[in-house]
């Protein structure tokens, strides 16, 4: 059996925009379908480290600040041949130093959970990825006084307000970047914005997220509007576990594709509502 190199042989350095291509290769090796563009997007919004050994990029760990008090961690990967040698532990130590003073959230795979538990994280919920090729979906039926309209960059303050109500987080820079690379629809009732959803290219096709809405009926409207007319296309939605939308999505071709455990180290943000986060930006970004 090949010997696992000592973690001391590994150099950690800050992640840079130029790492996106090698990052995509690394994530493919652990079965994750991120594209180079997904890495560029993620690196552009946050910070993190990569591990280099013998000139090869063998590890990554990113974090994204959401305001001054909180951040999420994700894209924590050690190449298969380098796992089990303490590199994951070193990645976590580096992120904890970079994000010092913040409460931290992440969505843990089964492989990552023991590492995070040892780093002071505790379970606080879950996320269910649902994906697949869309079956025929009818256009959403809007009630009296309801309207779906495309959002522009001028709507950013509205999106920030709704998202803050739903998450308790300051995610303005992420929302601005999502508006640039994706398409956004705002749901209005009696002229008032009550929710929004964003569709963007991601992984094997597209992802719908975040989906921010007061209730599941509105969230369904904000998802159906993207599924309608996209029969046969590959779409992913990362739902909060326990969401009543799972069966409905499965009926429309987006089957459950795996659950992860949401974990927090420190305090969970207080989300005042009434808007709620029904689907994440994606599993890593929260």
Ligand X SMILES: CC(C)(COP(=O)(O)OP(=O)(O)OC[C@H]1O[C@@H](n2cnc3c(N)ncnc32)[C@H](O)[C@@H]1OP(=O)(O)O)[C@@H](O)C(=O)NCCC(=O)NCCS
Tell me: does residue 84 bind ligand X (CB under 6 A).
yes
From the CB of residue 147, how many other CB atoms can be counted at a distance below 10 Å? 13
Using the minimum distance from each CB to ligand X, give the nearer residue, 216 or 259. Answer: 259
3-state SS track over the chain: CCCCCCHHHCEEEECCHHHHHHHHHHHHHCCCCCCHHHHHHHHHHCEEEEEEECCEEEEEEEEEEECCCEEEEEEEEECHHHCCCCHHHHHHHHHHHHCCCCEEEEEECCCCHHHHHHCCCEEEEEEEEEEEECCCCCCCCCCCCEEEEECCHHHHHHHHHHHHHHHCCCCHHHHHHHHHHCEEEEEEECCEEEEEEEEEEECCEEEEEEEEECCHHHHHHHHHHHHCCCCCCEEEEEEECCCCCHHHHHHCCCEEEEEEEEEEECCCCCCCCCCEEEECCCCCCC
* Token pair recorded at residue 208: 């719908």
Task: Select from 65, 88, 140, 195 the one that contacts ligand X (CB under 6 A).
Answer: 88
Tell me: does residue 42 bind ligand X (CB under 6 A).
no
Tell me: does residue 233 bind ligand X (CB under 6 A).
no
Stretch in the footprint of ligand X (CB under 6 A) among 113-121, 161-169, 170-178, 215-223:
113-121
Stretch in the footprint of ligand X (CB under 6 A) among 33-41, 79-87, 94-102, 161-169:
79-87
Tell me: does residue 93 bind ligand X (CB under 6 A).
no
Closest-CA residue to 91 (of 54, 63, 59):
59
Closest-CA residue to 116 (of 264, 284, 260):
264
Stretch in the footprint of ligand X (CB under 6 A) among 40-48, 87-95, 167-175, 230-238:
87-95
Stretch in the footprint of ligand X (CB under 6 A) among 108-116, 150-158, 176-184, 273-281:
108-116
Tell me: does residue 118 bind ligand X (CB under 6 A).
yes
Tell me: does residue 108 bind ligand X (CB under 6 A).
yes
Task: Select from 33, 47, 67, 85 the one that contacts ligand X (CB under 6 A).
Answer: 85
Tell me: does residue 193 bind ligand X (CB under 6 A).
no
Tell me: does residue 33 bind ligand X (CB under 6 A).
no
Tell me: does residue 24 bind ligand X (CB under 6 A).
no
Using the minimum distance from each CB to ligand X, give the nearer residue, 62 or 199. Answer: 62
Task: Select from 23, 46, 112, 195 the one that contacts ligand X (CB under 6 A).
Answer: 112
Task: Select from 22, 115, 158, 255 the one that contacts ligand X (CB under 6 A).
Answer: 115
Tell me the closest approach of the beta carbon of residue 77 to ligand X, in angstroms: 4
Q: How far apart are CA 241 and CA 246, in angstroms?
A: 9
Phi, psi of 100 (to 5 degrees): -50, 135
Task: Select from 35, 53, 89, 265 the one that contacts ligand X (CB under 6 A).
Answer: 89
Tell me the closest approach of the beta carbon of residue 110 to ligand X, in angstroms: 7
Closest-by-Cβ residue to ligand X is: 88
Interacting residues toward ligand X by CB under 6 A: 30, 76-78, 83-89, 108-109, 111-112, 114-115, 118
């Amino acid at each position: 059996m090949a010997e696992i190199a000592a973690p001391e042989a590994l150099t950690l350095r800050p992640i840079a925009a130029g790492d996106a291509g090698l990052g995509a290769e690394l994530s493919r090796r652990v079965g994750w379908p991120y594209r180079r563009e997904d890495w560029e997007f993620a690196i552009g919004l946050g910070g993190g480290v990569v591990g280099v050994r013998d000139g090869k990029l063998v590890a990554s760990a990113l974090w994204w600040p959401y305001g001054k008090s909180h951040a999420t961690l994700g894209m924590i990967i050690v190449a298969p041949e380098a796992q089990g040698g303490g590199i994951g532990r070193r990645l976590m130590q580096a992120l904890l130093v970079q994000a010092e003073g913040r409460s931290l959230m992440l969505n843990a795979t089964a492989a990552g959970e023991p590492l995070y538990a040892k780093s002071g994280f505790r379970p606080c919920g879950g996320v269910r990825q649902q994906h697949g090729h869309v079956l025929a979906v009818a256009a959403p039926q809007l009630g009296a006084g309801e309207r779906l309209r495309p959002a522009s960059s001028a709507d950013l303050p509205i999106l920030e307000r709704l998202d803050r109500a739903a998450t308790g987080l300051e995610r303005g820079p992420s929302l601005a970047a999502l508006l640039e690379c994706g398409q956004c629809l705002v749901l209005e009732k009696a002229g008032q914005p009550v929710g929004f959803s964003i569709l963007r290219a991601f992984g094997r096709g597209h992802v719908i997220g975040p989906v921010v809405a007061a209730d599941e009926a509105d969230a369904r409207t904000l998802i159906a509007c993207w599924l309608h007319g996209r029969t046969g296309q590959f779409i992913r939605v990362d739902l909060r576990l326990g969401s009543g939308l799972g069966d409905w999505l499965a009926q429309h071709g987006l089957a459950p594709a795996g659950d992860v455990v949401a974990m927090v180290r420190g305090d969970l943000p207080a989300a005042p509502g009434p808007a709620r986060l029904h689907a994440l930006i994606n599993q890593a970004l929260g």
